[in-house]
């Protein structure tokens, strides 16, 4: 009998091939569809996802990888981890509470709360990805209970379709570890004692329902862990194994190598260990030497985070080494991580040229690669000879393509000098010149860049792309919208204005469309958080700027007002991080090429009279390697690239940057080294807690701590914003504080924006009066 390695998938994109989940949830939030209709839309997506994976030949198909918002939020609902401000009574966590935890409660929901509508839970990046998760909150009286039927209902749903799935849960140690302590006396690991019985109950019920395997995701094993955390794994998994002795555990690690956590992982009482052999192929030898005699190895050899076609011959070399050591019966073949980070299918791309398309693989294609590898391992390479030959030709085609390499770009990049990444004078000297130039009041007000992308704005863009209106008609509409926005900002009495970004579809895609070396998909959507989906550009070749990208719109907007108008750019690190990046050269080289293109744009804006230029870098922290030993090398080139983009400007030109939804504490040295004159940061959800790190570090430049959480429909009062600013000036000099929202306003509606900005300006005015 021929033995074929077991194939499995760690998770599938949950948004639907055409963003069906986004449309369903947003229409539900607007009250246009019922809860029943929303649940039916989710069931339809799950059914299609399971069908796709079954048709691809995947043996162990995941369930509970679907979510209406976020998998960590799902875990909070499952175990009753609902912050007290949501006034939860201990019943099943319903969609109203679930979405309130994710988004906060809107003003229209006032009657449902005893006091002010509660603010949303904090959100931050999922390890080093561009996906955001909701952060569990731990307080001193934390209790747990099973409060959701989601994993059980979805397992039964698939079983009724004839598919015995592998339920997926965030592992208990990662779940508590990634939470936030509301009470400093709480040790998150101490919560395991109360949590594990309910984990055990959930696993036991899944076993009774017919589950044979369960996947427990423990990605923190790819990070630096203290001995206490390593010990918690043994305690937790010994407990779960004792309570559910017959259920097979697949412990999933991903995003990096285990290193000193490997001895911990291989000693756990689990049936299979999943390793990311794309990010860390070098760990295979150590794993093979350490794995126990009965534990299976799940080899993650298909890249779950990028869209390049897998080099099947290289993957087979890893699998053959593993098979030789373990035997094919102890080998599982899988993507490196959940396919959440990939678009659904390449079949929806009709406009990519054939050459470029032959280099790519989206979610469905990665499932096919997984199956080809398993067949080659089980039945020999001759079984898939045609597929392997085609793959080899596609890989070779990409390597020899003339469209990838541009000699002039490489020469310029290699010629960069140290002084190219330095401002002419230190910040104190620049600040004097800038304050004299702009004459802004104390607590100057501004926004982060974008304003609501209304249906009319989106329709104008869509009609232009379809050829239904001319360039002239398209531009005239944008000019009119900008003119109205400038007048509105002046009426609101904002100090530093923006042009609204009505000409832009996305803060990365817009620039990529105008840079050489980028390609774009029609339906390459991935989830950023909740209903927020992004369509990352594809960086396939050397990057340069053929022409100015933003100058004409910034100059037009500045011509409409006497107040300063910010030029708005996306920084090189963020463009890199939020793209699907070529994997045939070091990321630092690609980033430097982007930085030089942005530098050219910055100098054009300055030459055109734009005195304040914002270069957003929300992804700087996101790119930080998971291991501390690798931080310095990354931060060195990331900071250099930002400084390279700004290093050519005059002292009186004020450089802003923006960062959001990340932990700043471990990169404050790098933030200072960016040498931006002003940094705006997300701070409202944390109630200004983030600023404590800046105080301890004695951050020398100016800061705009966000006072309005724009990812929530709540309209904060002027009193609430002023309260946050009062907290800010306890740790920062008042003359260094700007007043702004947490992030851009693209996703909000005008009613919320107008009310919130009026309150924001009012709060700043109150602070000025109090300072006199």
Catalytic residue among 8, 132, 274, 711: 711
Q: Residue 691 CB: number of other CB atoms within 10 A?
A: 24
78's CB contacts (< 8 A; 6+ apart) are 146, 147, 148, 150, 151, 169, 202
Count of C-beta atoms within a 10 Å radius of residue 39 = 15
The pairing of strands 526-529 and 532-534 is antiparallel
Residue 450 to residue 503: CA distance in whole angstroms: 10
The residues, any chain, with a CB within 8 Å of residue 689's CB and separated by 6 or more, are: 683
CA distance 497 to 511: 21
Angle, vertex CA 665, rays to CA 659 and CA 667, nearest 5: 65
User: How many residues in total does the chain contain?
Assistant: 772
Q: What is the dihedral of CA 657, 663, 667, 671, to 10 degrees?
A: 20
CA nearest 561: which of 613, 609, 501, 505? 609
Give the Cα-Cα-Cα angle 639, 641, 645 (nearest 5 degrees).
115
Q: CA 726, CA 108: separation in Å to the nearest integer?
A: 28
**DSSP symbols for 340-374:** GGS-S-GGG--SS-HHHHTTB--HHHHHHHHHHHH
What is the rounded distance in angstroms from the CA atom of residue 491 to the CA atom of residue 218? 51
Q: Is 114 a catalytic residue?
A: no
Cα separation, 420 vs 414, whole angstroms: 12
Beta strands 213-217 and 166-170: pairing type?
Answer: parallel
DSSP string, 731-771: HS-GGGB-BB-SS--TTS-HHHHHHHHHHHHHHHHHHHHHH
What's the CA gap between 337 and 305, in Å, rounded? 7
Q: How far apart are alpha carbons 60 and 248 in whole angstroms?
A: 12
- Alpha-carbon distances of 512 from 226, 415, 623, rounded to whole Å: 41, 24, 19
User: DSSP states of 207-224 as a string?
Assistant: HHHT--EEEEE-GGGGS-
**Across-strand partners of 657?**
679
Of 107, 95, 91, 77, which Cα lies nearest the Cα of 37?
95
C-alpha distances (whole Å) from 399 to each of 140, 394, 409 are 57, 9, 18
The rounded distance, in Å, linking the Cα atoms of 346 and 580 is: 14
Are the C-beta atoms of 335 and 299 separated by less than 8 Å? no
> Rounded distance, CA 724 to CA 705, Å?
9
Q: What positions carry a catalytic annotation?
A: 711
């Amino acid at each position: 009998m021929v033995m074929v390695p077991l194939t499995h998938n760690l998770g599938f994109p949950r948004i639907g091939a055409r963003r069906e989940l986004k449309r369903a949830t947003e229409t539900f939030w607007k009250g246009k569809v019922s809860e029943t209709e929303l649940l039916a839309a989710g069931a339809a997506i799950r059914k299609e996802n399971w069908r796709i994976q079954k048709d691809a030949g995947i043996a162990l198909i995941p369930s509970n990888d679907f979510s209406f918002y976020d998998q960590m939020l799902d875990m909070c609902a499952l175990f009753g981890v609902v912050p007290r401000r949501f006034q939860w009574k201990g019943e099943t966590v319903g969609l109203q509470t679930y979405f309130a935890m994710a988004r906060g409660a809107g003003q229209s929901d006032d009657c449902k709360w005893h006091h002010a509508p509660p603010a949303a839970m904090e959100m931050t990046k999922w390890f080093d990805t561009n996906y955001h998760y909701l952060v569990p909150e731990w307080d001193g009286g934390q209790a747990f209970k099973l409060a959701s039927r989601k994993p059980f209902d979805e397992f039964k749903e698939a079983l009724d379709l004839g598919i015995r799935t592998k339920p997926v849960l965030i592992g208990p140690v990662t779940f508590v570890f990634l939470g936030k302590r509301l009470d400093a006396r709480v040790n998150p690991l101490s919560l395991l004692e109360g949590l594990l019985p309910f984990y055990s109950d959930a696993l036991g019920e899944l076993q009774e329902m017919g589950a044979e395997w369960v996947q427990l995701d423990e990605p923190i094993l790819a990070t630096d862990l203290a001995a206490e955390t390593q010990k918690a794994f043994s305690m937790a998994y010994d407990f779960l194994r004792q309570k559910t002795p017959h259920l097979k555990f697949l412990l999933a690690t991903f995003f990096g190598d285990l290193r000193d956590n490997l001895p911990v992982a291989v000693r756990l009482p689990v049936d299979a260990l999943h390793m990311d052999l794309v990010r860390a192929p070098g760990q295979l030898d150590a794993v093979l030497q350490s794995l126990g005699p009965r534990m299976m190895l799940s080899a993650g050899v298909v890249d779950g985070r990028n869209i390049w076609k897998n080099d099947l011959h290289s993957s087979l070399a890893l699998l053959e080494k593993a098979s030789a050591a373990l035997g094919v019966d102890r080998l599982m073949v899988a993507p490196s991580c959940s396919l959440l980070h990939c678009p659904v299918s390449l079949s929806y791309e009709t406009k990519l040229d054939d050459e470029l398309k032959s280099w790519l693989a989206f979610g469905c294609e990665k499932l096919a690669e997984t199956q080809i590898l398993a067949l080659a391992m089980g039945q020999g390479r001759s079984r898939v000879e045609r597929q392997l030959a085609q793959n080899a030709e596609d890989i070779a085609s990409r390597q020899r393509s003339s469209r990838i390499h541009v000699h002039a770009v490489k020469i310029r990049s290699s010629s960069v000098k140290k002084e190219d990444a330095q401002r002419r004078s230190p910040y104190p000297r620049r600040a004097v010149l800038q304050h004299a130039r702009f004459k802004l009041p104390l607590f100057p007000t501004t926004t982060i860049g974008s304003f609501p992308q209304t249906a009319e704005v989106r329709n104008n863009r869509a009609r232009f792309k379809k050829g239904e209106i001319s360039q002239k008609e398209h531009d005239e509409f944008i000019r009119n919208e900008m003119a109205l926005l400038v007048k509105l900002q002046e009426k609101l009495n904002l100090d530093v204005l923006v042009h609204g970004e009505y000409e832009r579809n996305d803060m990365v895609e817009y620039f990529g469309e105008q840079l050489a070396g980028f390609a774009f998909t029609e339906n390459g959507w991935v989830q950023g958080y909740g209903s927020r989906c992004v369509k990352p550009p594809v960086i396939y070749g050397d990057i340069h700027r053929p022409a100015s990208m933003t100058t004409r719109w910034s100059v037009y907007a500045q011509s409409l007002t006497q107040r300063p108008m910010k030029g708005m750019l996306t920084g090189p690190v963020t463009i890199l991080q939020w793209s699907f990046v070529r994997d045939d050269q070091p990321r630092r080289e690609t980033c430097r090429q982007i930085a030089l293109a942005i530098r050219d744009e910055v100098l054009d804006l300055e030459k055109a009279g734009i005195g304040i230029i914002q270069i957003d870098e929300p992804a700087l922290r996101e790119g930080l390697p998971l291991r501390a030993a690798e931080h310095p090398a990354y931060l060195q080139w990331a900071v250099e690239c930002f400084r390279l983009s700004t290093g050519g400007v005059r002292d009186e030109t004020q450089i802003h940057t923006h960062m959001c939804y990340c932990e700043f504490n471990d990169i404050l040295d790098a933030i200072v080294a960016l040498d931006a004159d002003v940094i705006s940061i997300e701070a409202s959800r944390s109630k200004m807690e983030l600023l404590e790190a800046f105080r301890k570090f004695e951050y020398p430049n100016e800061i705009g701590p966000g006072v309005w959480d724009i990812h929530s429909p709540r309209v904060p009062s002027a009193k609430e914003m002023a309260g946050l600013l009062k907290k800010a000036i306890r740790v920062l000099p008042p003359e260094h504080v700007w007043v702004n929202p947490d992030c851009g306003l693209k996703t909000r509606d005008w009613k919320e924006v107008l009310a919130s900005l009026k309150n924001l300006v009012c709060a700043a005015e109150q602070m000025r009066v109090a300072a006199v």
